[in-house]
Structure formats: C-alpha cells, structure tokens
A and B are shown apart, each in its own frame.
Chain A
C-alpha cells in the first residue's frame, strides 16, 4: 500500500517536471507573443499620451490627459527597451 503511494507520488512529481519543461520550452514563447502584443498596444497608448503632453492634437487627447503623470516612469522602461541608455534632457527621465 505504502509502495503504491510512493509510486503515485513519484509519478505526480515526474508529471509536474514534464509540465514545467513543456511550459518553458514550448509554451513560454507563445505567452510572450501575447505579452508583446499587449505591450505594443501600451506603446500606442504611450504615444497618444506623449502627443497630448507635447500639445499635439490627437483623437483621444481629452481621455488620456489624466495619464500624463504616468508617462515619465513608463518612458524610462520604453527607452531602455529600445536600446537607449539615456533619453531626453537631464532630470526629465533619468
């Protein structure tokens, strides 16, 4: 009885290892594709907010007005991601 329980535990552990390996090798790239798309949409929103902060007319200017304060922190992550160590004037971003 105890032997059967140990075998079941080992099988469960092996299955979980298989699931983790499958997740890392096969599923992770697919999940990243979804995350990349979400980030692309966030980039579009960021552009709209940036346009608003620069005083350029855009179709959703009023709606994104409240988001301007969030722009600076977000801008930092964006320019690091695009390969630029510094962005804008000193004190504006980093």
Chain B
C-alpha cells in the first residue's frame, strides 16, 4: 500500500478526532469556560506566567513533548506488523493521549497551574505524591538508560554522525549567547546555525569517529559501552551547568530540526510514493513476545505518554491565555506526537526496505528488530531524504544527527530531573545530607542508569534492548495512569461524567499490569536477576496506583466537592460558576 495513502488516512482520522471528540471533552467532561481567568492572567509575571497566543503555545508545547521516544517505540513495534502499531497509535492518540494531554492542562489551569506531582497530592492524597516521586524515579532511570543505549548504537552504526553532534555543542552555546545578548530578531542567525550544523554532516562523513580500536585496546567487547560511559560522563557535567547555557540552546536547535524532519518525511513519501513492504500483521517466529498486551507498553509516546502531563502542567498551563485554548494546545499536542509516531512507522515499513524479503531480514526476530530499531528509522528517513535528492550516505547521517540530538537532550534533561527527584526522595526519607548535596545526587542519577545501560543487551545472551524499552514504557504508562487518575477524580468531584477519562485509565492500567506480570514470569524463568526485581517493583507501584485511584474515585463519587467559582477575566471573582454546558 502507498505510504502517502496511509499517512493521509491517519491524518484524516486525527482531524476527525479533533473536530468531533475534543469538543465533547471540552463541553461535557472538562466544562471549559471562556470567561475563566487563567493563571497566566491572575499570576502574570512576564516569564513563566504569561498569556500566550494558542498557536504559539502549541508550538512551545509540541516542541517540548516531541523527542526520540515516539520514534523508537513504533520502530520496535512494527515487528508485529504495521497494522497493530498504527491502530494503537490512532486509537491511543484520539481516545487516550488527547484526553490525557488536554485534561492535564485543564486540571492544572483550574489549580493555579500546579504541577502534576503536586496535583496528585492535592486531588488524590499525600501518599500519591510519594508514589509519583517513585514512578518518576524509575521512569527517569530507564529513560536515561535506554537513550544512552540508543545513542551508543547510533554512534557505532554511524561514525559520521559523531563530529556533527560534538560540533553542535559549541554551536548551540554560540546561538544561545547571541539570543541572550541581543534583542534583534534571531531568524537569520538561526537559519545560519542550522545550515552550519548540516554543513558539518559532509565533514562528519569525511572524518568518521570510531572507538572500535579504543574498545579493543581496553578489552571491551562492545564499543557501544564505551560510548555509553562517555555519554554519562558528559551528562554528569551537563546536568550541573545552568539550563540556559547548554540545555535550552540545544533544545532550541532541536525544535528547528523537528520541523525539518517532519517535512522530510511528508515530502519524501509524497514525492517518492514509497510503498509499505511490511505485512499488516507479521507472522512472528515461534517464541516471540505476543503483541497483546506488550504493544501497549512498547509504544508509549505516540499513543499516550505520561511525560506529556509533566510538560502540560509544568509550563504549558502557566501560559494558557483562555481556558478554551486548552483544547487546541493539549489535543493537538497529542496529535502532533501521534504524527511523529506515524512517521516512524512509515520510515520503518516503507522507507527502510524496498521488498518484503528485505524487511523480514531486518525484523527477523524480536532481538534483531529491537536492537536495530533506531537504525531502521534512520535508514528509512535517509530513503525519504533520497526522494528529495539528498545522497543516501548524507541522508543517513542527517537522520542519525536528528535522532541523537533528540535523545541526547532527553538524557541531559533526564539526568538533571533525576538529580532533583533523588534530592526530593532523600528529603521525604529524612536523608538531609543527600538532599542537600547536589554532587552526590547527580552521581546517583548517573550511576543507576549507567549500570542498567551497561548490562548485556542487544541480542546477546542477556536481555534484548526491546525488553529494557518495554520497562521504560511501563513507567511512562504508569505516569500517564497517575495523571488520568487525577483528571478522573477532579471530573467526578465536579459531578460530571468521567467515562471518557476512566476508559483510557482502566485500559492503560490493565494492559500495563498484565504486561508487567508476563515479563516478570519470563524474567524469573530466565534467571534475569536484575530485571525481575525491577519489574516486580514497578508492578507493586502499579498496584499501589490502582488502589489509590480506586479509593480516590470512590470518595469523589460519594462526596463530590465541586470547585468553588473561579475568577473571571474581568476580575469579578465568584461572579459565576463554571458552566457544565
């Protein structure tokens, strides 16, 4: 089937979801009120709290939530065929992610733009705050581990991408300094910056950097592990730098790369008319993991991702100009992420191979499929770029640079956030010495995922990368579950029908718990004594979340406490209640 037909069909379904389902959510479930004075107005400070045009805010929100995760998950999941992967992306985006992202913004806006962790404590109970911290700890540990492996694999497979990635660091700092020090428009310097970045790609091709010899010298079997150690050494330093110096400017360059990559995918399949060569449902080898329920934790970002609730409640809710803007920003943010996942599915089913036989060789078994998933995406994007006249070798490095840039920024943010989480958990546990020692907290934030990443993977005797990825998916889905529980309790308390929130919540918790049990049994049978306890801990967190959500929902139903009337845009506090209509 032509990839462009599938792309247009999926985009049309997303459009229908926005056109018909999101207004239902806005009116009946979240009861948006155009007169509600949002925190951007009532707490305006010109920096965090600032009313922002909804199209501009969508740009901020989308570039913050989009990363490497909606690329990697679908690139693994097409192992089961493109049908199940795409079906989950479409249904998940329309009925789960749309509700989750949209609802996270609304609940935060109605609670003075508080973050989801604080909201869990306020709306559910104080134990939920501890639960949130623990889920986020494991989420970040696994995020940092899997992205270190992703980058390490890509560096080994694409030595030409190393130089552009290294040169991106001073380039980002220079652009950042230019923007901070001048008030003049940054469009031309930004275009020049992106041109300079992509000009380093042929340079990278001329001077590929490989650590194979160094690894042999050290007696390290896998070169990837050298890269993993170097990456964590980099993040240890980067996580201690101010965000405005390196992290934010890197994000700035990435936000441009995101739109360039999306344009390459859409134009590439539009011009090249690539055909999907993968089967709709793949006849996987005996002994392979079953798609049901593992598909739902393999694709997290792109179908539904708890990480979005952190962005929605952390920054986006502070900039919502009108209550009703939350529909456009939140729902369309989910659609944007789903579109990125769609691009990944197409790259790995239509771009990466010209025939089904070629494709089946790449996705011969689960270990092969997951180990080379990101490289398959890179090869697919290179093929799409080839349709636009870009030589395949350069297109490959371009795609690798895009994915590594996203993954590296995620790692940088992840280690930094993990440092805060370690300090906060230490504070809750009464370990004040650790809570006040940023260096010790950063060391823990680096060493734990480093240990996870260095354990054997990628298809050798140990576990496969896909299994580590699925564990990351479970923590991401539990974060989404916690956010959905907060939204459901808030909707129920306000005497509105929470079915649209409860269905994805129950589905997500059942699938995640089921997948955790399946993996736990497998790990115990295989004697995986690192993964088994980790899986068991995440399983216990899932049970804890189910219990807390059930108790909070029961209490909300028995004793609904609607929100007091909120401030209006005219400053007429208490003039009217939020309308249910």
Q: For B50, what are the chain A residues with a Cβ–Cβ distance below 8 Å?
A: 32
Query: Contact at A83–B43, with CB atoms within 8 Å?
Result: yes
A26 within 8 A of B: yes
Query: Contact at B244–A37, with CB atoms within 8 Å?
Result: yes
Q: In whole Å, how far is B238's beta carbon from the nearest beta carbon of chain A?
A: 15
Question: Known: A35-B47, A81-B49. Is A29-B186 also a contact (CB below 8 A)?
Answer: no
Stretch at the interface among A17-25, A52-60, A67-75, A86-94: A17-25
A78, closest chain B residue (CB): B45
A-contacting residues, B528-554, CB 8 Å: none
A33 within 8 A of B: yes
B243 within 8 A of A: yes
A11 within 8 A of B: no
Size bracket, chain A contacts: 20 to 34
A17 to B53, CA, bound (A): 15
Q: In whole Å, how far is A16's beta carbon from the nearest beta carbon of chain B?
A: 9
A36 within 8 A of B: yes
Q: For A32, what are the chain B residues with a Cβ–Cβ distance below 8 Å?
A: 47-48, 50
A21, closest chain B residue (CB): B56
B126 within 8 A of A: no
A35, closest chain B residue (CB): B47
Question: Known: A34-B180, A35-B47, A81-B49. Is A26-B190 also a contact (CB below 8 A)?
Answer: yes
Q: For B186, what are the chain A residues with a Cβ–Cβ distance below 8 Å?
A: 22-23, 26-27
A10 within 8 A of B: no
A26 to B191, CA, bound (A): 12
Q: In whole Å, how far is A74's beta carbon from the nearest beta carbon of chain B?
A: 12
Q: In whole Å, how far is B113's beta carbon from the nearest beta carbon of chain A?
A: 8
B173 within 8 A of A: no
Query: Contact at A29–B60, with CB atoms within 8 Å?
Result: yes
Query: Contact at A33–B244, with CB atoms within 8 Å?
Result: yes
Question: Known: A33-B243, A39-B47, A77-B45. Is A25-B59 also a contact (CB below 8 A)?
Answer: yes
A77 to B43, CA, bound (A): 9
A31 to B175, CA, bound (A): 12
Q: In whole Å, how far is B177's beta carbon from the nearest beta carbon of chain A?
A: 10
Which of A22, A37, A83 contacts B185, CB < 8 Å? A22
Which of A18, A31, A34, A83 contacts B187, CB < 8 Å? A18
Q: For A30, what are the chain B residues with a Cβ–Cβ distance below 8 Å?
A: 176, 179-180, 244, 248-249, 251-252
Q: For B46, what are the chain A residues with a Cβ–Cβ distance below 8 Å?
A: 35
Query: Contact at A25–B60, with CB atoms within 8 Å?
Result: yes
A28 within 8 A of B: yes
Question: Known: A25-B56, A26-B190, A31-B180. Is A36-B48 also a contact (CB below 8 A)?
Answer: yes
Which of B114, B185, B242, B248 contacts A29, CB < 8 Å? B248
* Per-position 1/0 for A34-67, Cβ under 8 A of B: 1111010000000000000000000000000000
B495 within 8 A of A: no
Which of B53, B190, B243, B251 contacts A22, CB < 8 Å? B190
Q: In whole Å, how far is B40's beta carbon from the nearest beta carbon of chain A?
A: 13
Q: For A18, what are the chain B residues with a Cβ–Cβ distance below 8 Å?
A: 187
B256 within 8 A of A: yes
Query: Contact at B47–A19, with CB atoms within 8 Å?
Result: no
Q: For B248, what are the chain A residues with a Cβ–Cβ distance below 8 Å?
A: 29-30, 33
A80 within 8 A of B: yes
A-contacting residues, B222-280, CB 8 Å: 242-244, 248-249, 251-252, 255-256
Q: For B252, what are the chain A residues with a Cβ–Cβ distance below 8 Å?
A: 26-27, 29-30
Q: In whole Å, how far is B66's beta carbon from the nearest beta carbon of chain A?
A: 13
Question: Known: A23-B187, A26-B255, A81-B45. Is A31-B179 also a contact (CB below 8 A)?
Answer: yes
Q: For A77, what are the chain B residues with a Cβ–Cβ distance below 8 Å?
A: 45
B28 within 8 A of A: no
Q: In whole Å, how far is A15's beta carbon from the nearest beta carbon of chain B?
A: 8
A33 to B47, CA, bound (A): 8
A21 to B58, CA, bound (A): 12
Q: In whole Å, how far is A27's beta carbon from the nearest beta carbon of chain B?
A: 5
B112 within 8 A of A: yes
Question: Known: A26-B59, A34-B180. Is A19-B185 also a contact (CB below 8 A)?
Answer: yes
Query: Contact at B47–A36, with CB atoms within 8 Å?
Result: yes
Q: In whole Å, how far is A13's beta carbon from the nearest beta carbon of chain B?
A: 14
A26 to B176, CA, bound (A): 12
A35 to B48, CA, bound (A): 10
Q: In whole Å, how far is A14's beta carbon from the nearest beta carbon of chain B?
A: 12
**Most chain B C-beta atoms within 10 Å of own C-beta, residue among A21, A24, A25, A36:** A25
Q: For B249, what are the chain A residues with a Cβ–Cβ distance below 8 Å?
A: 30
Q: For A19, what are the chain B residues with a Cβ–Cβ distance below 8 Å?
A: 185, 187
A28 to B114, CA, bound (A): 22
Q: For A25, what are the chain B residues with a Cβ–Cβ distance below 8 Å?
A: 56, 59-60
A28 to B179, CA, bound (A): 10
Query: Contact at B187–A37, with CB atoms within 8 Å?
Result: no
Query: Contact at A37–B242, with CB atoms within 8 Å?
Result: yes
**Most chain B C-beta atoms within 10 Å of own C-beta, residue among A21, A23, A29, A77:** A29
Q: List 7 A-B contacts (CB under 8 A).
A: A23-B186, A23-B187, A26-B63, A27-B185, A33-B248, A80-B43, A81-B49
The 10 closest A-B pairs by CB, nearest first: A25-B59, A33-B248, A19-B185, A33-B244, A34-B180, A24-B56, A22-B187, A19-B187, A27-B186, A37-B244
Given contacts A26-B63, A31-B179, 11 further A-B contacts (CB under 8 A): A21-B56, A24-B59, A26-B59, A26-B255, A27-B179, A27-B252, A35-B47, A36-B47, A37-B243, A80-B43, A80-B45
